[in-house]
């Protein structure tokens, strides 16, 4: 492999264009050498392919791929990339099931290449200082509220309502990726209620109750029907006061009113992800944290299904 990581971007939807392309362009460790998508929406001046097999048969030299496809189709693409000995960056969630991610991890180990299950919300400005502050405190409870308007943030994305598309857990897994990172003790689900529109196969809202290993309550309130102000907040009560993370982890407020931030977070979430991916590739390591995905799977296993009115976009 050359010093520069020759990267192909697979799945050219909104997140790829808005976040991945600028982050790749801003990191000298990477060169975008190809895009892959069933749609023609590639990047000007970059070779574009219909699928990953077409890319593999081309004369384009590739070291790594970043997968931004819906989770239901990602496993086969990732497996093909690993079989080509390409390093793989998985957009969140890393897969549609836990089992398929485990298989990818085994394939990456056998091929001696990097597999990176990325969680962009962990790179928000306030997350790392929140983790550091909580590491020395005793948590008494935590409340996570992630409420947004699906029509605003996910317009026309039919796949997200299909089985394996996660529904409201698509943004909700961002909250869980932060919570599993900052909480000083693990937590597990006790009960949940999932609201499914009568005409959809994925939930539009969820109310989940967790408990930490030392018996402290953690609640998760997800809703895609929010109008007006959007809420992406985590409030952690401790014996030393209340920690608040707002705006999806971007704004941290400690009990004394101070708002510390981590300097490394200044470059943004996706630049942080690509810096991490480059570090892993160059160090010959993988990073496959499935804790957020495991909580989502547990919610579907433990949750009561409640049918609500049809969702019509």
CA distance 176 to 292: 5
110 conformational bin, left if phi > 0, alpha if psi -120 to 50, beta if neither: alpha
Helix (H, G, I), strand (E, B) or coil at 208: strand
Question: Domain segments of the chain: what residues?
Answer: 5-117, 121-265+296-308
Residue 268 CB: number of other CB atoms within 10 A?
16
Q: Which listed CATH number (3.30.360.10, 1.10.275.10, 3.50.50.60, 3.30.565.10) goes with 121-265+296-308?
A: 3.30.360.10
pLDDT at 266: 45
Helix (H, G, I), strand (E, B) or coil at 305: strand
pLDDT at 39: 87
DSSP secondary-structure letter at 3? S
Distance between first and last Cα of the chain: 47
Active site residues: 92
* C-alpha dist (Å) from residue 133 to 53, 67, 254: 47, 33, 9
How many residues would you count in the chain?
A: 313
Beta bridge partners of 243: 236
pLDDT at 267: 54
pLDDT in tens, 155-203: 999 999 999 999 999 999 999 999 999 999 999 999 999 999 999 999 9
Question: What are the residue ranges in the chain where pLDDT is below 50?
Answer: 265-266
Q: Which listed CATH number (1.10.10.10, 3.40.50.1100, 3.40.50.720, 3.40.630.10) goes with 5-117?
A: 3.40.50.720
The whole-model pTM stands at: 0.94
pLDDT at 124: 94
Helix (H, G, I), strand (E, B) or coil at 163: coil
Residue 257 CB: number of other CB atoms within 10 A?
6
167 conformational bin, left if phi > 0, alpha if psi -120 to 50, beta if neither: left
Place of tokens 């490394």: 264
pLDDT in tens, 122-131: 999 999 999 9
CA distance 265 to 73: 31
Q: Where are the alpha helices (DSSP H) in 39-165?
A: 52-56, 74-83, 98-111, 127-134, 150-153
Burial class (CB in 10 A: 0-12, 13-18, 19+), 312: exposed
Strands across the sheet containing 30-36: 48-49, 30-36, 5-10, 64-67, 87-90, 115-117
pLDDT at 202: 97
pLDDT at 264: 53
């Amino acid at each position: 492999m050359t010093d520069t990581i020759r990267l192909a971007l697979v799945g050219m939807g909104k997140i790829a264009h808005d976040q991945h392309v600028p982050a790749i362009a801003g990191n000298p460790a990477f060169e975008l050498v190809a895009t892959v998508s069933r749609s023609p929406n590639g990047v000007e001046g970059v070779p574009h392919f219909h699928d990953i097999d077409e890319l593999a048969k081309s004369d384009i030299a590739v070291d790594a791929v970043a997968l931004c496809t819906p989770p239901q189709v990602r496993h086969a693409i990732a497996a093909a990339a690993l079989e080509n000995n390409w390093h793989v960056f998985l957009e969140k969630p890393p897969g549609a099931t836990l089992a398929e991610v485990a298989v990818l991890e085994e394939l990456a180990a056998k091929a001696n290449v990097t597999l990176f299950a990325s969680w962009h919300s962990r790179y928000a400005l306030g997350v790392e200082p929140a983790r550091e502050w909580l590491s020395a405190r005793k948590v008494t409870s935590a409340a996570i509220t992630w409420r947004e308007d699906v029509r605003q943030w996910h317009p026309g994305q039919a796949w997200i309502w299909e089985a394996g598309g996660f529904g409201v857990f698509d943004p909700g897994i961002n909250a869980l990726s932060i919570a599993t990172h900052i909480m000083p003790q693990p937590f597990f689900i006790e009960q949940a209620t999932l609201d499914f529109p009568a005409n959809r196969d994925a939930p539009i809202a969820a109310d989940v109750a967790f408990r930490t290993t030392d018996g402290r309550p953690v609640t998760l309130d997800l809703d895609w029907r929010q109008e007006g102000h959007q809420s992406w907040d985590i409030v952690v009560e401790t014996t030393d006061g209340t920690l608040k993370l707002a705006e999806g982890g971007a704004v941290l407020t400690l009990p004394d009113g101070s708002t510390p931030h981590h300097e490394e977070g200044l470059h943004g979430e996706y630049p942080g992800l690509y810096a991490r991916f480059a570090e892993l590739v160059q160090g010959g390591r993988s990073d496959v944290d499935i804790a957020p995905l495991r909580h989502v799977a547990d919610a579907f296993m433990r949750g009561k299904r409640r049918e609500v009115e049809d969702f019509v976009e």
